[in-house]
Amino acid sequence: MKADLHCHSYFSDGKHSPDFLLNRAETNNISHLAITDHDFVMNPKDFMLRKSKVHLISGVEISCEWQNREIHIVGIGIDPENSLLETMLLKQRANRETRVEKIHRLLLKADIDGLMKYFESQHCISKTRSHVADFLVLSGATKNRKLAFSRFLGKGGRAYVPAIWVSMEEAIYAISSSGGISVLAHPGRYKLSKYQLNGLVDAFKKTGGAALEVSYGNIHPNVKKALEETALKNKLFISAGSDFHDAGAHWTDIGKFPQISVPAEKYAVWQHPKWYF
Ligand code: AMP
Ligand code: MN
Ligand code: MN
Ligand code: MN
């Protein structure tokens, strides 16, 4: 078993097709791949995917609010046709749409036109600020994505628009209702103190969360070790994924994140009763 349970396609802010991701997974000897786009679940029935040795798992990464912070919950093994989840994701994507329109209006004030036209040329079903950052670089408004966030899109930037996300509880409930397993994504990226992280993990578990993502692209070995210990201490399962977006940039390749340690692997998410792939 070699699974990568977190990556993005061009249906959100990834740069590549699902076929490309499957191909890459096969090349890198991955047996199970979950494509987890931001607030969008791909239904394989709707797309002509190539035949692959890799087991494709339906997934999603939901942006949520917890105690006035943004956190991400990955859902794996969900039914893409579940109506409760779909209704919630439609609401999320509608809020993303509104946010992008507001950003567009703020950019117009800075004499930057063309964002909506740019989106027409993209495959995305879920619109993100990541797309807007690419547009700002492409149009010459900023030199790179980092500057796009600091000057325009991040807090304090001139085109900053706060997001409206569902609560963590709603996201976990929707994932569970659709038969999926909830994973707290990249817990080391939220800039939380140890105390705050314990509070988040506690709330996540109490609302039905099942697993912690303990390994992902660019994770520090000490953070990975601490997260494995946190998962075991809290009797949570363990998940891992590259969070791959783009082969042309410095994203971790599919399957190339640090491996889960041998003792922690006993609690890997593929031991979860809902895992059937
Ligand atoms: P959104 O979900 O629309 O707020 O967009 C967030 C996406 O933008 C994330 O998934 C990242 O890929 C990207 N992102 C967020 N902050 C930054 C940053 N400071 N620099 C570069 N990319 C970022
Ligand atoms: Mn992203
Ligand atoms: Mn994320
Ligand atoms: Mn992600």
Tokens in use for 274? 């809902």
Strand, coil or helix: 210: coil
Closest ligand to Cα 71: 3
Bridge-based pairing state of the strands 55-66 and 32-35: parallel
- Residue-wise pLDDT for 49-61, tens only, equals 889 999 999 999 9
What pLDDT sits at residue 250?
Answer: 83
* Average pLDDT, integer, range 27-37: 98
Please list, in sequence order, all residues whose beta carbon lies within 8 angstroms of the beta carbon of residue 193, skipping any fewer than 6 positions away. none
Is 189's C-beta closer than 6 angstroms to any atom of ligand 1? no
What pLDDT was estimated at residue 48? 83
Angle, vertex CA 269, rays to CA 264 and CA 272, nearest 5: 120
| Mean local confidence (pLDDT), 60-85 | 98
pLDDT at 102: 98
Domains (ranges, CATH) in the chain?
A: 3-88+164-271 (3.20.20.140), 94-153 (1.10.150)
Query: 78 C-alpha vs ligand 4 centroid, how far in Å?
Result: 17
* pLDDT value, residue 25: 97
Phi first, then psi: what are they for 79, rounded to 5°? Answer: -85, 115
Percent of the chain with pLDDT over 90: 94
pLDDT at 140: 97
- Residues 171 and 166: their CA atoms lie apart, in Å, by 7
Question: For residue 96, which atom of ligand 1 is closest to its CA?
Answer: 3
- Contacts of residue 118, defined as CB under 8 A and 6 or more positions apart, other chains included, come to 131, 135, 138, 139
Residue 33 neighbours by CB under 8 Å, 6+ apart: 3, 4, 5, 7, 21, 22, 25, 54, 55, 56, 57, 254
pLDDT greater than 80 at residue 249: no
For 158-190, the pLDDT digits (tens) are 999 999 999 999 999 999 999 999 999 999 999
With the most atoms of ligand 1 within 8 angstroms of its CB, the residue from 12, 13, 97 to mutate is 13
> Which numbered atom of ligand 1 lies nearest the CA of 63?
2
- Assess whether the C-beta atom of 163 lies below 6 angstroms from ligand 1: yes
- Residue 121 and residue 261: Cα distance in Å, rounded? 43
pLDDT above 90 (res 27):
yes
The DSSP annotation for 30-90 comes to -SEEEE--BT----GGGS-PPP-SSEEEEEEEEEEEETTEEEEEEEES--TT-HHHHHHHH
pLDDT at 69 over 80: yes
Of residues 241, 175, 244, the one with CA closest to residue 210:
175
Nearest Cα residue to atom 17 of ligand 1? 149
Q: Separation of 277 CA from ligand 4 center, angstroms?
A: 21
Is the CB–ligand 1 distance for residue 145 below 6 Å? yes
Per-residue pLDDT at 47 exceeds 90: no
**CA distance linking residue 5 with residue 261, whole number of Å:** 16
More confident residue, 218 or 65: 65
Kindly report, residue by residue over 104-150, the tens digit of the pLDDT.
999 999 999 999 999 999 999 999 999 999 999 999 999 999 999 99
263 CA from centroid of ligand 2 (Å): 30
Task: Give the ligand with the smallest distance to the CA of 243.
Answer: 4
What is the tens place of the pLDDT at every residue in 185-229? 999 999 999 999 999 999 999 999 999 999 999 999 999 999 999
Higher pLDDT, 47 or 67: 67
Token pair 């990834």 in the structure block, residue: 14
Task: Tell me, using a 6 A CB cutoff, whether residue 130 lines ligand 1.
Answer: yes
Residue 150 in contact with ligand 1 by CB distance below 6 A: no
- What's the mean per-residue pLDDT of the chain? 97
pLDDT recorded at residue 248: 84
- Specify the residue with its C-alpha closest to ligand 1, atom 7: 130
Nearest ligand 1 atom to the CA of 12 is 10
Rounded-to-integer distance, Cα 161 and Cα 132, Å = 12
Cβ–Cβ < 8 Å for 36, 61: yes
pTM, full prediction: 0.97
Q: What is the 13 CA–ligand 1 centroid distance (Å)?
A: 9
The pLDDT score that the predictor gives to residue 49 is 87
